[in-house]
Chains A and B, each alone.
Chain A
Amino acid sequence: MAVSTLTRRNFLAAGTTILGAGAPLSAFLRSAAARAADTQTLTVGTNIPFTTLDPNTINTSVFPFRNAVFDPLIDILVTDIAKYQLGDIQTELASGYTVNKDFTEIRMRIRDGVKFHDGSAMTPDAVAAALKYAIDPKTGGTMAGSLADIASVAVDGNEVVMKTSAPSVDALYRLTLFRVQAPSGFAHNANTPIGTGPFKFVEYEPGDHLTLERFPGYWKQIPSNIKTLTFRFFTDPEAMLNSALSGELDILQFGLLKDAGALKSGGWTAYAAPIADYEMLVLNYTDPKSALGNENIRQAIARAIDRKAIVKNVYYDLVQPITIPMSPSSPTYDPAIAAEWDFNLTAAAEFVKKSGIANPSFNLRTGTNDPDGQKIAQIVKGDLAKIGVTANIALVDPTTLVNDAVIGNFQANVYACSIGVPEVQDFEDCSVYRPNKGPFSGDKTFPNYKQAYYAAAAVVDPPARIAAFKHVFEILHQDAWAIPICMRGLLCGQSKQTSGVVYDAKTHLVYQGIVKS
């Protein structure tokens, strides 16, 4: 039936015409893409949405933003990212500082001539107001906890004087976390913050993008050609990778480690930026129904985890395995102590035998949203089976997992735990190393550890301090119910057109000195 004049010949002719038009179309589209290239705009793709722009919120995702809009009083940079090698303290908005002999008073001399983005002068009074705002638990967000040692802030001439409630070496180092914000911006700092940093706020659309532009009145010279810094938020890491590979991004931050190979093959530099997270096997030794109540079983498990296999299969060999709760770059790291918990199935089997428990088993939970944790649980289960210990894996929604962990309603969990990367003078407490039942703070919760921790914190001589903290971590590891597996890292990459990304010891990636060709 001939109801149409469409024939195969017509169809093929139309197809040929379309394909013929494809070549000039391709050229047009490519030239349009080339026009979009801009050497003065740095576009950063990030896979973790910002929750707030308030610089007092300490959150990995916002660190690069904080470093662009705000400045610290003092800072420590990482001189070698892979080894996490730290440099010395350097002054920023403070032109100098002094600490008294007993570590109860810190004086910061405030730099002259620095202006906030709204044009107002950064005076000692403004810095003191920002500090008071930060240490107040009502307004200081998570920063208030980090600066909890600071009891008072006052202005003395061109100095801001901070007094601590007790001798505290850590207070100075924790000040590297603090960012100075303009008092005039306190009321709206979550959405339109005002700092002194090299870039000033322009526009923020939550979940989509944040745009910053170079602050012409910045107090120091930065050899960078970047005029605009844009953060683009991605919900899908694959989409972020494709955007990076198609040239739409200059920096990729916090991607998936599995994409490191794809980035490198696209000419990018890729590395795992260390984050203050360790992958842990957390054991609850107070549950009478669990074999984990037996110390020998716990010691067996600690030795039966093939961390190298986990690092290779789950983290693409981009992170470091750890057996003790400190990174290998930490001065407190002792290879001899660490080796005690190396993978050794024979020693592990001996501990199982010593426990006297026949067919020990326990429930091992991990998050439904945590593919890494699920793979780790499988590897752990396989290794433990070799020494006769059964781990029954269960996947649990993340909220329940965390809530149950807090109240001690679990036997064993695999998850990532936040832990401060211990540094020479700044040893942080890990929330994981707590008893299974509350209260979760105070001297009575974990007496041996707490006493040793406070004693070590009071030591001011560096070698003695390191030795004291080695002792703290030894106690921690012997008594604790958390077994470190490996450090974690988030994939970061930069295109070959960019150079100059530095890594800050406390606040991670810093883009302010970046150059784009």
Chain B
Amino acid sequence: MWAFIGRRILVAVPVLFGASIALFLLLYVLPGDPAAFVLGDSATPIQLATLRHTLRLDQPIPLQYLYWLGSLLRGDLGDSLVNGYPVARLIAQRLPVALQLTAGSLVIGCTLGGAAGMIAGIRPDSRLARLIDFLNATAIAVPVFWLGLLLQILFAVKLGWLPAGGYVAFTTDPVRCIRSLVLPCVTLGIGTAAVLARFLANGIAESLHHDFVLTARAKGLPPRRILLKHVLRNAVIPAITALGIQFGRLIGGVVLTEAVFNLPGLGTLLWTALVQRDYFVIQAVTLLAVAAFILVNLATDIAYGVIDPRIRAGRLSR
């Protein structure tokens, strides 16, 4: 098992390295001069040149990359070009919100998606399964920001049950913290639930027709045990794959959801940085998102190995 994990980690390192180069170069494709943006229209050429020198923008791009990578490895993400705050501090302030939002939406997504997937998978031709299928398609098609605004209007503006936005730290007021995260987590979790439900339902429906299910039934195993121990274990692998891929969508969704619900997370930090051309913040947050995506995919690979010993042993690839 450890060798399997080690192989996966070795594959992840060059991916992260490649992503860092792509990310660094991407910013040079964006229009505009960071120095001119920071200093404004009234900046003199001398002021511009001084700032470019300070930011090392006058150096060759490969050298700039090496400086950036060196600083990154030392844990120095630079300072915000807009407010001068250390980028690491800005990220540390915003990370808990993004993590709570992501975790909350995953919990909602897995709970709703798991339940709906099992119901639809067990009785694929029932009216309930068709309803779930319709709701899944709708949830996948609805854009996150639009769903968020609809939920906001219904539950905050019309019913007044939940806040329309803002965030209260759990340590300050746990009840208000949970209230502030309900709508964003539901907004973000619905899409995950729909995808998960669809994959799980298909997996269960397919597994139910396999010989091992007939054997288990013939042996007189209780239906619940057949479902949970045998059917689900086979059906869950494609669902985990979907969940891993879904994480990328989740990262994009976090940006939009945080903006709609005005949550001070990494998404709004990135959004504001993009608007203000705060390059160091953009680089750091995007790299963090890429690293998170790689980590989740690594975890997904490991989960395959845990659930299915054939994958761990590499038999499937042969």
Give the B-binding residues of A (Cβ under 8 A).
Answer: 1-6, 8, 11, 25-26, 29-30, 32-33, 36, 49, 51-52, 142, 145, 190-191, 205-209, 232-236, 238-240, 242-243, 245-248, 397, 399-400, 402-403, 406, 431
A33→B163 contact, CB < 8 A: yes
B259→A2 contact, CB < 8 A: no
**Pick the contact of A242 from B32, B90, B157, B159 — CB < 8 Å?**
B157
**Residues from chain A with Cβ under 8 Å of B260 in the complex:** 236, 238-239
- Rounded to whole angstroms, the CA-CA distance of A240 and B165 in the bound complex is 8
**Pick the contact of B152 from A30, A145, A234, A242 — CB < 8 Å?**
A242
**Residues from chain A with Cβ under 8 Å of B40 in the complex:** 142
B164→A402 contact, CB < 8 A: no
Known pairs A51-B82, A431-B41; A26 contacts B161 (CB<8 A): yes
Q: Does B223 contact A (CB under 8 A)?
A: yes
A243→B164 contact, CB < 8 A: yes
Give the A-binding residues of B (Cβ under 8 A).
Answer: 31-33, 36-37, 40-42, 80, 82-85, 90, 93, 118-119, 122, 126-128, 145, 149, 152-153, 156-157, 159-167, 175-176, 179, 208, 223-224, 226-227, 231, 258-262, 264, 268-269, 271-272, 275-277
A243→B165 contact, CB < 8 A: yes
B90→A206 contact, CB < 8 A: yes
B208→A3 contact, CB < 8 A: yes
Query: What are 23 of the A-B contact pairs (CB < 8 Å)?
Result: A3-B224, A6-B119, A6-B122, A8-B126, A26-B161, A32-B175, A49-B272, A190-B83, A190-B84, A206-B272, A232-B262, A235-B259, A235-B262, A242-B149, A242-B153, A243-B165, A243-B262, A245-B164, A246-B156, A248-B165, A399-B277, A400-B32, A402-B41
Distance in Å from the Cβ of B161 to the closest Cβ of chain A? Answer: 4
- Rounded to whole angstroms, the CA-CA distance of A495 and B158 in the bound complex is 17
**Residues from chain B with Cβ under 8 Å of A191 in the complex:** 83-85
A236→B259 contact, CB < 8 A: yes
- Rounded to whole angstroms, the CA-CA distance of A366 and B106 in the bound complex is 42
A30→B160 contact, CB < 8 A: yes
**Residues from chain B with Cβ under 8 Å of A32 in the complex:** 175-176, 179
- Rounded to whole angstroms, the CA-CA distance of A1 and B224 in the bound complex is 12
**Residues from chain A with Cβ under 8 Å of B272 in the complex:** 49, 206-207, 233, 235
- Rounded to whole angstroms, the CA-CA distance of A488 and B167 in the bound complex is 33
A4→B224 contact, CB < 8 A: yes
- Rounded to whole angstroms, the CA-CA distance of A206 and B82 in the bound complex is 10
A399→B31 contact, CB < 8 A: yes
User: Given known contacts A3-B227, A399-B31, what 5 new A-B pairs fall within 8 Å (CB)?
Assistant: A1-B122, A6-B122, A52-B83, A238-B260, A402-B41
Distance in Å from the Cβ of A67 to the closest Cβ of chain B? Answer: 20
Known pairs A3-B224, A4-B227, A205-B93; A33 contacts B160 (CB<8 A): yes
**Residues from chain A with Cβ under 8 Å of B118 in the complex:** 4
| Closest B residue by C-beta to A144 | B42
**Residues from chain A with Cβ under 8 Å of B153 in the complex:** 242
**Pick the contact of A142 from B42, B119, B122, B275 — CB < 8 Å?**
B42
B42→A239 contact, CB < 8 A: no
Distance in Å from the Cβ of B201 to the closest Cβ of chain A? Answer: 13
| Closest A residue by C-beta to B40 | A142
**Pick the contact of B80 from A2, A6, A206, A234 — CB < 8 Å?**
A206
**Residues from chain A with Cβ under 8 Å of B226 in the complex:** 3
**Residues from chain B with Cβ under 8 Å of A232 in the complex:** 166, 262
- Rounded to whole angstroms, the CA-CA distance of A240 and B83 in the bound complex is 23
**Pick the contact of B31 from A142, A145, A400 — CB < 8 Å?**
A400
A240→B262 contact, CB < 8 A: yes
**Residues from chain A with Cβ under 8 Å of B277 in the complex:** 399
**Pick the contact of A207 from B33, B119, B224, B269 — CB < 8 Å?**
B269
B41→A246 contact, CB < 8 A: no
- Rounded to whole angstroms, the CA-CA distance of A433 and B160 in the bound complex is 50
| Closest B residue by C-beta to A4 | B122
B37→A399 contact, CB < 8 A: yes
- Rounded to whole angstroms, the CA-CA distance of A305 and B250 in the bound complex is 47
B223→A4 contact, CB < 8 A: yes
Known pairs A3-B223, A209-B264; A29 contacts B42 (CB<8 A): no
Distance in Å from the Cβ of A206 to the closest Cβ of chain B? Answer: 5
Known pairs A3-B223, A6-B122, A235-B262; A242 contacts B165 (CB<8 A): yes
**Residues from chain A with Cβ under 8 Å of B31 in the complex:** 397, 399-400
A235→B268 contact, CB < 8 A: yes
**Residues from chain A with Cβ under 8 Å of B128 in the complex:** 8, 11
Known pairs A8-B128, A36-B176, A191-B84; A207 contacts B262 (CB<8 A): no
Distance in Å from the Cβ of A234 to the closest Cβ of chain B? Answer: 5
**Residues from chain B with Cβ under 8 Å of A248 in the complex:** 156, 163-166
- Rounded to whole angstroms, the CA-CA distance of A33 and B155 in the bound complex is 12
**Pick the contact of B157 from A1, A206, A245 — CB < 8 Å?**
A245
The 7 closest A-B pairs by CB, nearest first: A208-B264, A399-B32, A3-B223, A29-B161, A246-B156, A246-B164, A242-B164
| Closest B residue by C-beta to A247 | B160
| Closest A residue by C-beta to B122 | A4
B152→A239 contact, CB < 8 A: yes
**Residues from chain B with Cβ under 8 Å of A402 in the complex:** 41
**Residues from chain A with Cβ under 8 Å of B175 in the complex:** 32
**Residues from chain B with Cβ under 8 Å of A29 in the complex:** 160-162, 179
- Rounded to whole angstroms, the CA-CA distance of A234 and B271 in the bound complex is 11
- Rounded to whole angstroms, the CA-CA distance of A397 and B274 in the bound complex is 13
Distance in Å from the Cβ of B30 to the closest Cβ of chain A? Answer: 9
**Residues from chain B with Cβ under 8 Å of A190 in the complex:** 83-84
- Rounded to whole angstroms, the CA-CA distance of A431 and B122 in the bound complex is 70
A33→B262 contact, CB < 8 A: no
- Rounded to whole angstroms, the CA-CA distance of A209 and B268 in the bound complex is 12
| Closest A residue by C-beta to B115 | A6
- Rounded to whole angstroms, the CA-CA distance of A402 and B223 in the bound complex is 69
- Rounded to whole angstroms, the CA-CA distance of A431 and B40 in the bound complex is 13
Residue of A11, A236, A400 with highest tally of chain B CB at under 10 A: A236
**Residues from chain A with Cβ under 8 Å of B36 in the complex:** 403
A51→B83 contact, CB < 8 A: yes
